[in-house]
Structure formats: C-alpha cells, structure tokens
Structure 1
Amino acid sequence: MSDPFYDDLRPVPAFEAFCRAGVYVPVPGDWCVGVADIANSTQAIERGAYKTVNMVGAAVISATRNALEGKAFPAVFGGDGASFAVPAEAEQTARGALRAVQAWARDAFGLDLRAAMIPVSEIRAAGHDLRVARHAVSDGVDYAMFSGGGLSWAEAELKAGRIGMEPAAPGAMPDLTGLSCRWSHIRARHGKIVSLLVLPAPAADPADFEALCGEVLTLTGTLERGGHPMPEEGPDVSWPSPGVELEAKATGKGKLALMAETLFAWLVLTRGWRPGGFDPVGYKRDTALNADFRKFDDGLKMTLDCDAATLARLTGRLDRAVADGVARYGVQEQEEAMMTCIVPSVMQSDHLHFVDGAAGGYTRAAARLKGRD
C-alpha cells in the first residue's frame, strides 16, 4: 500500500485520550471498510465454542494482514467478528482475504461469518463518520481506535442483511500464518473477569458521553493496572495447548506436528530455555504489555479483572447514564479471560493479543445492553 495516511498517524500512549473527539482524524473518503460478524454467535457460545468464535474473529485481521504483506492498517477485534479499513488500492486484496475467511469458517467450523466491504464515502453519505487514532500499548505494538459511529452503522447494516458478500468457493483457505491461541485461560485474581461495553445512546450529547467515559476510566483506574486481566509477568502456558486443534485448522499443520511444536514451546516458556537467543521471560512480559484488554470502538469496550465493589460503583454510574439518555451498556461476568494471538515472529516484540472473556465476553455483553434503541 502506498497511501501514507495510517503510517503518518502518531500513536498515543495514554488510553484516556481516546475519550476525547480531538484525538481522532477522519479516514480518507476513498478508503473502504470491512466488517465481519458471526451469525448466531450466541448459540455457538451455548455449545461451548466461544474459543472458536474468537479464533474466527481474529482470523479476519490475520488474513487481511497477511494479504497486505504486513502493512499497517486500522483494525479492531470484536469477539465474534472484526472490522478494519484499507485504502482503495487494497480493497480487492482485502475483499479476497475476507471471502476466504468466510469460506474457511463455514468449511472448518460450520459458522456463518457475515462480511461486507463498504466505501467510507457511503458511510458518510448515510450521515455517519469514520475517524481513527492509534493507541500505543507498548514500544512495539499499537491498536486502532475508532469513533464517529461509522463502524457501528456498517455492522448494523451487515446484521440487517442490507450489505454483504458471498464467501469464496468451498475449500478456499486464507493465509492465517501467525494466528494461534496457545495460552492458558487467565483466571480472575480480584473478583471476576468483566466484559464491559459502554456505548452512546442514540440522542446523546457527545460531550456528555465523553465525560461519562472519563468517569468510567477513573473508576477502573482504581483497579490494579487499570483492570488489566493478565499478570504483569504474562500468562501461564499449559500442555497440551488448549487451542491446538483450532490452530491446526488455521495453519493446515498436522495435529501431531503441532503437538510436538507446542510441547517444545511449553518447555521453553516453563524451563527458561533460550534457543537461538529467544527470551522467554521477556516474551511473556511483552504478551501482557501488548494485550488489547481495552479499546475504543464507537464506545468503550473493556475486559477487566474487577472486584465486586468497583463493579457495583460502575454499574450504578452507568444505570444513571442510561436513565439520563447518555449511554447504553452491557456486562458479562465470568471466571476467566482468554486470548487469541497473531505472532509474526517470536523473536520480535510486535505480536498481537486479542483479549476477551472466556464465557461469552463481548458477545454476551452486547446481548445484554441496557438502554437499547
């Protein structure tokens, strides 16, 4: 991609900045947005397949990233789907990758991944905007933050069937190199793992919603490391890897080969071996640093390790915001968080880790929104 727009955006370290409209810049009008969402994901959760749901959602970003040969582009993971934006020159490449993920989700897991590509100009013609910023979570990784309502509108259009596209032919396989889910689930240490969505009410004053988000972050700021669900030293790892069968379907590797590979990785991470100069302690710490446990995607979306008293204060404040017509919110409580990862190379620090609750997470929180339209 030759368009320098996203490369030229300066990543901002302070997450609190993303509550303010001024940190975002408009996505160029000739760019295109990709949206993807698993139909009937709640039923998949009831079948115990939420790890699979997360893997498919992350695959949207992984396949697009690989198709674009690692070029930076804004994307956000949503639990049961993902959204992204690319310049016009990359639209066909991204479309092909997205259709391949649809086919793979159908063929490998029987999941209906709805997907669409839509021009940013069409989003604005419908009365919405698409603005983006970059949040630096570490020296090696940043994540896109979105505002303006454009992504939410496109996702609603997708779910309503007004936009969409057909999957690739049966047997099509996206390039999912680097996609994995090898880490153990992360147990809550302070109460519950809380998946929290805070979205603006349809007629909310933007200034009131900004102020509310600031209050929410002040409350969660009293939690250890802002509610980060992962210990600072990184997550635990077990063997056999809980996601080995999913990774086999993502990479095309045989299960026995992956079992051997993950056994070696487990030994390295638990025994402190340093093959080829690899630093297992540093890698685990980078994993914690690089995790996307909170994001701004037309609203606050967070996976928090939260005690009962703080959660009560949060929900009490949010109930008042619902009554005042400022916000809608949804909460899902669970015992554990989980991660799905994109690791281009274990020797670099730019690995990505998408965090969600392990018992329905963002999907169940969205189904429980208070203050619906």
Structure 2
Amino acid sequence: MTTDSFYAGLPKTRSFDSLAAPEAFVPLPPDWHLCCTDIVNSTGLAAAGRYKTVNMIGTAVIAAMRNALQGEPFPFIFGGDGASFAVPARHKDTARKVLAGLRSWTKAEYGVSLRAAMLPMDWIRAEGLDVRIARYAVSEHADFAMFNGGGLAWAESQMKAGAFAVAAAPQAGPPDLSGLSCRWSNTPARNGIILSVVAQPAPGTSPRAFARLSAELLDLASELAEDGHPVPDSGPKLRFPPAGLALEAQASRGNQPVILRKFYLFFHSLFAGVLFALKRPAGGFDPVHYLSVLKAHSDFRKFDDGLKMTLDCTPAISNRIRGRLQQAAGAGLVQFGLHEQDAAMVTCIVPSPVEDDHIHFVDGAGGGYTQAAANLAAAFGISKNPA
C-alpha cells in the first residue's frame, strides 16, 4: 500500500461500538497533511439564531474538498462549526487552494469569518501526539472517518491561536459545492430532549481508560430506541418554503444571481416534496428508499479525539449520562460539555438523488456541538479564542 492509497485501502468496520477500542485506529502516514477549519464566534452566531448557517458552512468544507478530489476517498469529520480532514502530500496544494477560497467565500457570501489551518504530520508527532484513523461503514455505499490520538484537537487549538493559518484568497472564484443541501426542517425530539455530548479525555488519561468510559456511554445510549438516533424512519420534514433554501441558494449559485437560484431550488423542492408526500418513485428516484438511506447515512455519533453524540434522549437517560460524566470528571478522566435542545438538524451532501452514496451530518438545532464545547470550556476553565 502506498501512502496515497492509505485511506482507500483502510479496512472498514460496521460496528460503531468497536471503535471505542484504541486498536481500531491506524496512524496517518508521515507524509500526509492535516487540515482543520472552524467559524469565528460560532457560539454568538448560534445565539443569534444562525446555527443552520454555521452547520452549512462546516459541511461546505467537506463538499468542496470532495468535489476538488473528484470522489477520491479521504478522511474527514464534521464538527458542527467546522470540519477537519487529511490528505496525502500530492493533494496538499489542492487542499490549500480550497481552504483559501472558502475563507474568502464565507466572508463575502455570509459575512462569517472562517479559520483554516494546514500542517504536516511530522509537526504533530514532534509534539508527542498522533492522528489515528478508523473507517466506519454505515452501509456498503457510505462510510465516515473517525479520529483519535490527540493530534486533531491540538491542531484545532493551535489554529484558534493563529498558528498554521491558510491565508484567504480574495480573488478566488466561488467553490464547487455541488451536492450540498440544507433544505430539511429541524427534527423535533421524540423522547423529550436532543442531547449534544462532547466528551474528551482529560490530560494524562490513558487511551484504554477513555475507551472504557466511551463504552459505558454507548451502553447508556443503547437503552434508547435505535441507540438514540435523532432522525426518524420517515426522515426530516420538508416544509415550504424550505428552511435552508436561501442558504443553499447562496452556496450553490456560483456566478448566477441568487434570486434565480432561489427560484430554481424552490420549484425543485416543490416537485421533490410532492414525491415525498405521495411516496411514489419518479425518474429513478424512490423517495421511500431515499429516506431510509438518509437515516442510515447520518453521523449522529462519532469519535473525534473524544466522543461526540447527538441523541434523541429521554430525561432519565440524559441525567444518567450527565451523572456518569460528572463521576468520571471527578476522577480526572474526562472533560465534557452537554447541551440540551428540542430539535436536531441535518445538512446533506447528495452527489446524486438516485444513487445511495449521499451522506448526512447531524447536529443539535439549538447550538449543538458548538454550545456543548463552549460549556466544556467554561466548566473546565479552558482558555480559548471565541469558538
């Protein structure tokens, strides 16, 4: 296996629970580069009701890189207010170009500042940290990368301090965001609470000790229907006008006037809404099958130098998760943040509606991972630049 084909050749697992074990992860090759992004003042944007914009920009980072690499697999992870990914050395210039363009585009299109950083793996390992990857297959058609080793969290903290920055490219054209979609309405909690969980090993915690805690948290979530998956079998609702239509129009308009793109997306959504309501196939598109795949291909839990979950949760299970985390924090094993809200949101990358390779990123609709991470920082006295 060459380093270029490292990720394509990485074995996939269908068991999420098995990812709690440190041995499920493999180090990135030494000549790869790690890239990370996040939105400046995402907590303030969430408080102002713009969290759908925050999620859309985070997903746009992944969509832009997927299109730039023309479908070549690479490890990426959605973080709510940003996204991170890794590429082999031959793609580092492409990654830098995409990130530079995205920084200018988000500012010009949405008035939102995006941080971006890129650094080689040997710089991370010089800090005594690592970036280790696993590949979790949600079906034969789609999978998500999982990260551990501490290197990604360290790189993100360095990025927020201004290190390893990728400069914006004001003259760059609009990014290719083909497939990016954010038209679904928020999905209300069915069990009372949408619980956002961000749990990270405390400094000095062994990987094995954190793995045991993660397994306990997953066991608690398993007591919920479908492990707490917040997307129902019927999928999220598509109401009119679609909640994220204006955001998607801005993201996908290219050099076209945004009003024309809005008209196109509105009538496209109207036609799709009729198909979903009738539950009848048309032109190779089967709405019932699409929704079943949407649920299966949603990343409501992940390992991201820690454990993150978006759970449709009962108050009783939420209290037990909080209690177990408080107990572990008291023992010096974990730092954590939780956030409760009444709905979840889904942002999508759909290369083709008639294929099964679409993927969907789940977050809490009321601040989600961003607010949970802010609560973590506040509770554990972590000094950080505005999230």
TM-score after normalising by structure 1: 0.98
Partner of 1:310: 317
* Offset, 1:372: 4.5
Distance 1:135 1:112 in 2: 31
Q: Which amino acid is 2:262 matched to?
A: K
Question: CA contact under 8 A between 2:249 and 2:261: conserved in structure 1?
Answer: yes
Matched, 1:82 2:83: yes
* Offset, 1:39: 0.8
Partner of 1:368: 375
Distance 1:160 1:27 in 2: 24
Matched, 1:297 2:304: yes
Distance 1:233 1:270 in 2: 11
Distance 1:11 1:183 in 2: 29
Q: CA RMSD in A?
A: 1.3
Q: 3-state SS of the aligned residue for 2:323?
A: helix
Q: 3-state SS of the aligned residue for 2:54?
A: helix
Partner of 1:263: 270
The one-character-per-residue Cα deviations of 1:84-106 (angstroms, maximum 9, x if unpaired) are 00000011111111111111110
* Offset, 1:139: 2.3
Matched, 1:277 2:278: no
Distance 2:279 2:289 in 1: 11
Distance 2:370 2:340 in 1: 12
Q: Point out where structure 1 has 5 or more consecutive residues left out of the alignment.
A: none
* Offset, 1:206: 2.1
Q: 3-state SS of the aligned residue for 1:48?
A: coil
Partner of 2:351: 344
Matched, 1:223 2:255: no
Distance 2:353 2:272 in 1: 10
Question: CA contact under 8 A between 1:107 and 1:171: conserved in structure 2?
Answer: no
Partner of 1:100: 101
Q: 3-state SS of the aligned residue for 1:254?
A: helix
TM-score after normalising by structure 2: 0.94
Partner of 2:194: 193
Q: Which amino acid is 2:286 matched to?
A: D
Partner of 1:50: 51
**Which has the larger displacement, 57-66 or 167-176?**
167-176
Q: Which amino acid is 1:129 matched to?
A: D
**Which has the larger displacement, 261-270 or 229-238?**
229-238
The one-character-per-residue Cα deviations of 1:45-80 (angstroms, maximum 9, x if unpaired) are 122110001000111100011000111100000000
What is the total number of aligned residue pairs between the two structures?
373
Q: 3-state SS of the aligned residue for 1:295?
A: strand
Q: Which amino acid is 1:245 matched to?
A: A
Partner of 2:213: 212
The one-character-per-residue Cα deviations of 1:200-225 (angstroms, maximum 9, x if unpaired) are 00121222111111110111110010
Q: Which amino acid is 1:371 matched to?
A: F
Q: Which amino acid is 1:362 matched to?
A: Y
* Offset, 1:138: 1.9
The one-character-per-residue Cα deviations of 1:188-208 (angstroms, maximum 9, x if unpaired) are 001100110111001212221
Identity of aligned residues (%): 49
Partner of 2:244: 243
**Which has the larger displacement, 91-100 or 279-288?**
91-100
The one-character-per-residue Cα deviations of 1:284-338 (angstroms, maximum 9, x if unpaired) are 1100000000000000000000001111111111101001000011111001000
Q: Point out where structure 2 has 5 or more consecutive residues left out of the alignment.
A: 254-259, 383-387
Matched, 1:119 2:120: yes
Distance 1:98 1:237 in 2: 31
Distance 1:138 1:224 in 2: 20
Partner of 2:161: 160
Question: CA contact under 8 A between 1:181 and 1:340: conserved in structure 2?
Answer: yes
Superposed structure 1 runs of 4+ greater than 3 Å apart: 370-373
Q: 3-state SS of the aligned residue for 1:144?
A: strand
